[in-house]
Structure 1
Amino acid sequence: MESVFARLEPLLPRVSKPVQYVGGELNSTVKDWDATTVRWALMYPDAYEVGLPNQGVMILYEVLNEQPDVLAERTYAVWPDLEALMREHGVPQFTVDGHRPVGAFDLLGVSFATELGYTNLLTALDLAGIPLRSADRTEDHPIVVAGGHAAFNPEPIADFVDAAVLGDGEEAVLEITDLVRAWKLAGSPGGRDEILTRLAETGGVYVPRFYDVGYLDDGGLAPVRPNRDRVPERVAKRTTMDLDAWPYPKQPLVPLAESVHERMSVEIFRGCTRGCRFCQAGMITRPVRERSIEGIGAMVQRGLEASGFEEVGLLSLSSADHSEIADITKGLADRYAGTNTGLSLPSTRVDAFNIDLANELSRNGRRSGLTFAPEGGSERIRRVINKMVSEEDLIRTVSAAYAAGWRQVKLYFMCGLPTETDEDVLQIASMAKEVIRAGRAASGRRDIRCTVSIGGFVPKPHTPFQWAAQCDPDTVDDRLRKLREAVNSDRDLGRNIGMRYHDGKPSLIEGLLSRGDRRVGRVVERVWREGGRFDGWSEHFSFERWTAAAAAELEPLGVSLAWFTTRERTEDEVLPWDHLDSGLDKDWLWEDWQDALDERELEDCRWTPCFDCGVCPAMGTDIEIGPTGRKLLPLTPV
C-alpha cells in the first residue's frame, strides 16, 4: 500500500506544528503491508499532542503489532489548517506511522475519551473517503469500531460506526482480529453483513444496525430489540482480569512534538469501588484489579529503558488506594535514588494521602504542587455525591503538606451537582480560605498558594446520576460568578487563591451527547457540516452552532436540547443504553440515586461486604487486590 507522504510533505511547511504529522517516534512500528493479513488503523479523535500519550491507544497498538500477521498504525485528528490543504490537494486521512490512507485498512478503531470528539470522527471518515453512514459502506471500506469510556452509550454515533466495544480492549481487539482474519482467508463469505454478524454474535461487540429503536408519543424510547436471530438481546462489557498478564505498554511511544504528558505511565490498578455517584469511570471499570508490586516494578524498569523518560506516572482512578502503594513508592524511590527519575501520582484522595507517601514521590528533588479532589464545597453535597471527605480531613492533610515544605495545593470541584444550591458552591470559597489560613499557620510563611479548579457536572450513563436533571449553563455561570466574588471578598486571603473554571455551555452539549439517543446523530452531523471541529477545545467550540443545530434537528421530532439535558428521568423510562450491559444492576443504580437524594453515603466494597451492585456475578469477575506482602527489589538502573 503506497504511502501518501510524497503528497503530504509539500503541505507541511504551510501548517502549524508540522512535526506532529511526520511519524517516526521512538518505539513506533511500521510493518510490511503485504506480509500481514489484518490491518488496523487506531485513532484517537483529537490532536496529536493529546492523542499520542493516550494509554488505551498505545496499549492496543502494541498488543496488535505483536501478532506476526497483524499491522496496526495510528492516526489522529488533523488541525483545520491541514484539513483544508488536504481537501485542496486530494490527500486522504493518513496514518502517522506509514502514512498509508486510512480508507485502505480493514478496521478503523476509534477510542473516545469524551463525547466532544464525535465531530472529529466525521472529519476523519470524510477525509478518508469512507461514507459517513455505516449503511452506505461496502466491503471496500474499513469496519469502524468505537471504544473508550464515551462508547458506553454509542447511540448518538450509531449511524456513523459499524460496531462498538464496551470496556477493556486488550482481549477484545485480538478476538475481533481472529474473526476478521478467518473471514478474509475464507474469501469474505456473506460480505460486510456477515462479518458484522459474526462480531455481534460473540456478545461482546455491539453492532447498532442489528438493533431497532422505537419512539413513544411523548418522545421517549421503546425497548431496543435485536432485529436478527444471531444477535444477543444485550451486549456485555469486556473485563480484562490478571493485569500482570498484560504488562503494556512495554515500549512507550516517545512524542516528537510537545504533548500533554511528557512521562512514562504505568497503570497500577484498574477499576474503583469508592462509589462516587458522579463518576462514570469508577462505575464502568469495576471491579478493582490491582497489578502486583513486582509487575509494576518490571513495567517501570522496562519502560524507562525503552523510552528515556525521566518521570514515571503511577496511574489509576485513585492511585493512593492501591493496597501496597507505600511499598511501591518506597521501592521505586529506593531503586532510582540518585538518578533523574521522578515519580508522580494523579489527583489523590485526601483520606488516602500521607506525608510519607508524598516524600517518597518527591525524593529526587521534584516537589510540584499537590492535587486533591473534594469535588463538592459543602459536607451536605459531598454526602449526595458519596465523596466521603470532611473539611477537617482536608485541612489536616494540607496543613501537614505545607508544614513539610509544599507551597502549592490544587483543589478540584464540580458545579451543577444534583440538589446543589448557591450555598454549597459558596462554601468552596470558605474551604479555600481555611486552606490558606491553615497553610500559613503550619508553614510560618505567607507565600503559599491554593488553586481552585472547577468543572461543570455532566450526568453520565451507567451511574446513579443517569436520571438527574443537568443544571442549565446560566445557573452554573451565576454560581461561579458569586464564588469568585466570595473568594475576592477577603483580599488578604483571596490574593493567594487562584480560580480556574469553564463556563457551563460546553458541559450542556457534552450532556446532550452523553445521554442522547440515535436522534442526536442528526445534530452531530449538522454541526460537523457547518464547521464543527475540535469541540473539546474552547477556542474551537461554538455553543451557538450546537444550539441552532439541536433546534433545527430535534424540535421537528418533538424533543429538544432541554429534553435531553435539563429534564429529570423517571424510574420506568427506557434509557438509550439499557441494552448495553456494564454489569451494574439498574435497580441498584436507582436505589443509589434515591440514597443520594436522601444524602446517604455508601462505603467502599473493597473493605466491606458486597453491596450487590451486580458487576462481579454479571461479568464473572471478582475484586483482585493485595496486599501480597512482597517488596520491590532495588535495582541499579543502567
Structure 2
Amino acid sequence: MCEQNAAEIRRKVDRFLTRVLKPGRYLGAEWNSIHKEWESTRVHMAFAFPDVYEVGMSHLGTRILYHLVNSFPDFLCERVFAPWVDMEARLRENEVPLYALESFRPLKTFDVLGFTLQYELSFTNVLNMLDLAGIPLRSGKRKAGDPWVIAGGPCAFNPEPLAPFIDFFLLGESEEQLPQVLDLMAEQKENPRPRADFLRRVAQVQGVYVPEFYQVSYREDGRVQGIEAEPGVPRVVEKAIVKDLDQAFFPTEPIVPYLEIVHDRMMLEVMRGCSRGCRFCQAGMIYRPVRERSPQTLLGQAEKLVRSTGYEEISLTSLSSGDYSCIRPVVGDILARYGGEWVGVSLPSLRIDSFDVELAAQVQKVRKSGLTFAPEAGTQRLRNVINKGVTEEDLMAAVGAAFRAGWSGIKLYFMIGLPTETQEDLDGMVALAAKVLDLGKRSGVRNMRLTVSVSSFVPKSHTPFQWEPQERQASLAQKQQYLKERLRDRRIKFNYHDVATSFLEAVFAKGDRRLADVLEHACRAGCRFDGWTEQFRYGLWQESFRELGLDPGFYANRTLDYDDVLPWDHLESGVSKKFLMQEHWKALREANTQDCRFAECTGCGVCPGRGVRIDLKG
C-alpha cells in the first residue's frame, strides 16, 4: 500500500464505511477518548487488541494501559482493533492501511505497536493486523523506520509460536514496566543506537523478554533440548508485578463507546490474583499473589467513574469477586450512595463455596438474571484432582438458596477431558443436573431453566497440568454426544465447545517456535478470527500443518516428562516449577492443597521470590 496521511485515510474510509457491519467500530472520537498533539509528544504508541472493537473495549487491561500511557505528558497512545472481515476487505480493496482510531494515522507511522495477547486463537489476527498495516511480519525484516512491535498479556507466558514476529514481550503487570520501556524508546529516538544495543538495554527492564537473545535447540525426536540466553541478558525472565494495588494507576475517566460492547458498564478492579489453586487455571498461577484494593480507594474510584461515564452499572471485577474480603461493605456503600441514581452493582464471578445469596439478591434487586456456578467436574474425586475445593453439598446449598430467593435460571459449567476423568465423572455431571432440577421442583420454582455448559480441558503453561496431554478430538466428541443424549430434557439447554477449536488452542498453548511458520502459512491462506465459530477454518489449518511437516498432535496430545525442557522454561511466573510438580503429583493422588489466605504457606514461591506478600484489606 502506498504511503498515505491521516486526512487521505479518513476521506477514503468515509466513502465505504456505511457499507460495513457496525461502522462505529472504526470511527473513534468516543466520550473520554484522548486526542494528543503528535508533535508535542516524544513517543507515539498504538495499543492493539487482536479482536473486534466490542471485545477489546470490554477488556479492563486495554482501558488501564491506554489511559496510563496518556497520563504521561511525553507519551501518546491511540487504539486499534482487528477489523472484521468485511472491513478488512474494504481496506484492501481501497488500498487503505490499518489506522489508529484517534487520529486515523497509519500504524506504520507510530514508534511502537503494542499487542495484548489474551487468547491463543487470536495469533493469526496479530499477523493479519501487521500485514494490513504494511509492517513486515518478521522482526528480522523490519527496518529502522518501522515501529517496534511488542506484546504482553497472559499468552506472553508462552509466546514462543509468536517469537519471530515480536521484537520483545512484556511479562506480568505493565503499570510500572511499560513507562520504563517507553522512556528508553524516547532516548532511542533522540540518540539512535544499533538495534541490538537498544534491545539489550530494554532487556534489563523487569519482565522484558527479547526472543532473539535466546537460542533454542531441539532433539531428534522433536523435543526441546535446551534454551540458551546470550551474554548480557537474564537467563530466566521474571515477571513484573505491582506490589501495592492501592497505589497502582487506575483510569477513572474511561472511554464510553457509542455502540454496545460485551461488558458495557463501569469496571472496578477490587483485587488481583487468586490463591484457590485450581490446577487447570493459568490465571490463578500467573497473577499471584492476592492483592486487594482498600474500600476507601474503590469508593473514591467509583465516585469518579459515575460522574465521568453516565453508566448505570458498576462491575466489581477480579478472578473471584466473592473472595474479596470487603465485598459486603463495598457493595452496600456503593448501593447506598448511588442506588437512588439507578446505579446498580454486578459481580461477574462467584464461586459456589463463597456464594452469598443475600449479597446476590442485594445487587440484583431490580432484575434477577441467571446465576452461574462452576463445579467443573461431576464427582468429588475429580474435583479433588483439580483442587476445586467445592463439594456437591456446597453446590446444592447455593442453588437451593438461590431458588428460595426467587431465581429460576441456573447455569452449570463443567470441563471434559480433565486428567484421570472416567465414565463415572461424566455420569456425575448428568446426576448433578438432575439433582438441581429436582431441587427446583421441590422448591416450587416455575419455568425452571438450567443451562449445562461443557468445555474441553486445554493444558496451559505454568500450571500443574502443563505436563498433561489434551484428550484426542474423537474421544472428546464422543463424550459431548454422550452428554447431549443423557441431558435431553426440555428444561435443560446443553452447550459445548467445538473440539477442533480447543485442539488448536492446546497446540499453541504448549507450542514452540517451530509453529511460527505454520502460523504465518495459515494466516496467508486466510485464517483469522479463529475463536469465532463462523470464521474458524480448520481445513486450512490442517493443510498448513501438512505443508510445513509438523504434527499438531505432538504438541496437544503428548504427555510431557518432568525432566523435559519446556518451551517456556526461560520465562518465570514466580510460581516455582518444583511447586507445580508437587501439585501435579498431589493431583494424581487426589489430594487437596489449602488456600494460603486462610492456611499456612503452600510454598509456591511467589511471595519470597518477588518480595511481595498477600495483601488483604478485610
After TM superposition, list the pairs within 5 Å mapping 1:207-226 onto structure 2: 207-226=210-229
Match of 1:263 in 2: 265
In 1, distance between residues paired with 2:471 and 2:150? 32
Determine if contact 1:203/1:232 at 8 Å carries over to the other structure: no
Determine if contact 1:426/1:482 at 8 Å carries over to the other structure: no
**Is 2:198 the counterpart of 1:198?**
no
Q: Select which of 142, 164, 167 maps to 1:137.
A: 142
In 1, distance between residues paired with 2:548 and 2:39? 45
Q: Select which of 351, 360, 363 maps to 2:362.
A: 360
Determine if contact 1:247/1:295 at 8 Å carries over to the other structure: no
Match of 1:158 in 2: 163
**Is 2:2 the counterpart of 1:11?**
no
Q: Secondary structure at the match of 1:532?
A: coil
In 1, distance between residues paired with 2:263 and 2:287? 23
Give structure 1 stretches of 5+ with no counterpart: 489-493, 628-638
Q: Secondary structure at the match of 1:454?
A: strand
**Is 2:537 the counterpart of 1:542?**
yes
Q: Secondary structure at the match of 1:72?
A: strand
Match of 1:84 in 2: 89
The letter for the 2-side match of 1:606 is R
Q: Secondary structure at the match of 1:182?
A: helix
Cα displacement (A) at 1:506: 0.3
In 1, distance between residues paired with 2:324 and 2:155? 26
In 2, distance between residues paired with 1:353 and 1:247? 30
Q: Secondary structure at the match of 1:467?
A: coil
In 2, distance between residues paired with 1:57 and 1:38? 18
Q: Secondary structure at the match of 1:371?
A: strand
Q: Select which of 545, 552, 556 maps to 2:547.
A: 552
Structure 1 347/452 Cα, relative in aligned 2: closer, same or farther at 3 Å?
farther
Cα displacement (A) at 1:203: 4.2
In 2, distance between residues paired with 1:445 and 1:78? 45
Q: Secondary structure at the match of 2:208?
A: coil
**Is 2:579 the counterpart of 1:588?**
yes
**Is 2:304 the counterpart of 1:306?**
no
In 2, distance between residues paired with 1:336 and 1:320? 21
The letter for the 1-side match of 2:461 is P
Match of 1:189 in 2: 193
Cα displacement (A) at 1:202: 2.5
Q: Secondary structure at the match of 1:34?
A: coil
Q: Select which of 254, 262, 278 maps to 2:256.
A: 254
Determine if contact 2:403/2:445 at 8 Å carries over to the other structure: no
Q: Secondary structure at the match of 2:388?
A: coil
Alpha-carbon displacement from aligned partner over 1:243-291 (angstroms, at most 9, x marks no partner): 1112512112111222111111111000000000000001000000001
Cα displacement (A) at 1:201: 2.3
In 1, distance between residues paired with 2:102 and 2:427? 50
In 2, distance between residues paired with 1:428 and 1:13? 48
Alpha-carbon displacement from aligned partner over 1:454-484 (angstroms, at most 9, x marks no partner): 1111100000000001011211111111111
Match of 2:599 in 1: 608
In 1, distance between residues paired with 2:445 and 2:355? 23
Q: Select which of 558, 569, 572 maps to 1:567.
A: 558
The letter for the 1-side match of 2:56 is G
Match of 1:283 in 2: 285
Which shifted more, 215-224 or 418-427? 418-427
**Is 2:568 the counterpart of 1:577?**
yes
Identity of aligned residues (%): 44
The letter for the 1-side match of 2:511 is G
Determine if contact 1:247/1:299 at 8 Å carries over to the other structure: no
In 1, distance between residues paired with 2:341 and 2:204? 52
In 1, distance between residues paired with 2:508 and 2:229? 23
Q: Secondary structure at the match of 2:580?
A: helix
**Is 2:484 the counterpart of 1:516?**
no
Residues matched between the structures, number = 613
After TM superposition, list the pairs within 5 Å mapping 1:78-477 onto structure 2: 78-185=83-190, 187-190=191-194, 192-227=195-230, 229-363=231-365, 365-442=366-443, 444-477=444-477
In 2, distance between residues paired with 1:400 and 1:445? 12
Cα displacement (A) at 1:503: 2.1
Cα displacement (A) at 1:301: 1.6
Alpha-carbon displacement from aligned partner over 1:539-588 (angstroms, at most 9, x marks no partner): 00122221221232243xxxx11110111100100000000011111111
Determine if contact 2:385/2:587 at 8 Å carries over to the other structure: yes
Determine if contact 2:175/2:249 at 8 Å carries over to the other structure: no
Alpha-carbon displacement from aligned partner over 1:60-82 (angstroms, at most 9, x marks no partner): 00001011111000000011222
The letter for the 2-side match of 1:19 is G
The letter for the 2-side match of 1:34 is E
Cα displacement (A) at 1:426: 2.5
Which shifted more, 105-114 or 200-209? 200-209
Cα displacement (A) at 1:296: 1.1
**Is 2:613 the counterpart of 1:622?**
yes
Match of 2:483 in 1: 483
**Is 2:38 the counterpart of 1:46?**
no
Determine if contact 1:287/1:623 at 8 Å carries over to the other structure: yes
The letter for the 1-side match of 2:529 is F
Determine if contact 1:347/1:373 at 8 Å carries over to the other structure: no
The letter for the 1-side match of 2:221 is D
Deviant stretches of 4+, over 6 Å: none
Q: CA RMSD in A?
A: 1.2
Structure 1 422/316 Cα, relative in aligned 2: closer, same or farther at 3 Å?
same
Alpha-carbon displacement from aligned partner over 1:170-222 (angstroms, at most 9, x marks no partner): 1111111111112222x2122x3222121112242101011101011111112
The letter for the 2-side match of 1:622 is R
Q: Secondary structure at the match of 1:518?
A: coil
Give structure 2 stretches of 5+ with no counterpart: none
In 2, distance between residues paired with 1:593 and 1:296? 37
Alpha-carbon displacement from aligned partner over 1:9-54 (angstroms, at most 9, x marks no partner): 1121221111210111111011111111011100110011111121
Determine if contact 2:177/2:206 at 8 Å carries over to the other structure: no
In 2, distance between residues paired with 1:90 and 1:216? 45
**Is 2:6 the counterpart of 1:2?**
yes
Determine if contact 2:318/2:349 at 8 Å carries over to the other structure: no
In 2, distance between residues paired with 1:94 and 1:312? 32
Match of 1:491 in 2: none
Alpha-carbon displacement from aligned partner over 1:334-374 (angstroms, at most 9, x marks no partner): 222333211111131111011121122123x1321111111
Determine if contact 1:554/1:561 at 8 Å carries over to the other structure: no
Alpha-carbon displacement from aligned partner over 1:371-401 (angstroms, at most 9, x marks no partner): 1111111111111110011111111111111
**Is 2:517 the counterpart of 1:501?**
no
Q: Secondary structure at the match of 1:35?
A: coil
Q: Secondary structure at the match of 2:176?
A: helix
In 1, distance between residues paired with 2:528 and 2:324? 39
Alpha-carbon displacement from aligned partner over 1:390-428 (angstroms, at most 9, x marks no partner): 111111111111111111111111111111123212221
The letter for the 2-side match of 1:551 is R
In 2, distance between residues paired with 1:253 and 1:410? 32
In 2, distance between residues paired with 1:64 and 1:373? 37
**Is 2:65 the counterpart of 1:71?**
no
In 2, distance between residues paired with 1:36 and 1:247? 21
**Is 2:534 the counterpart of 1:525?**
no
Q: Select which of 34, 41, 44 maps to 1:36.
A: 41
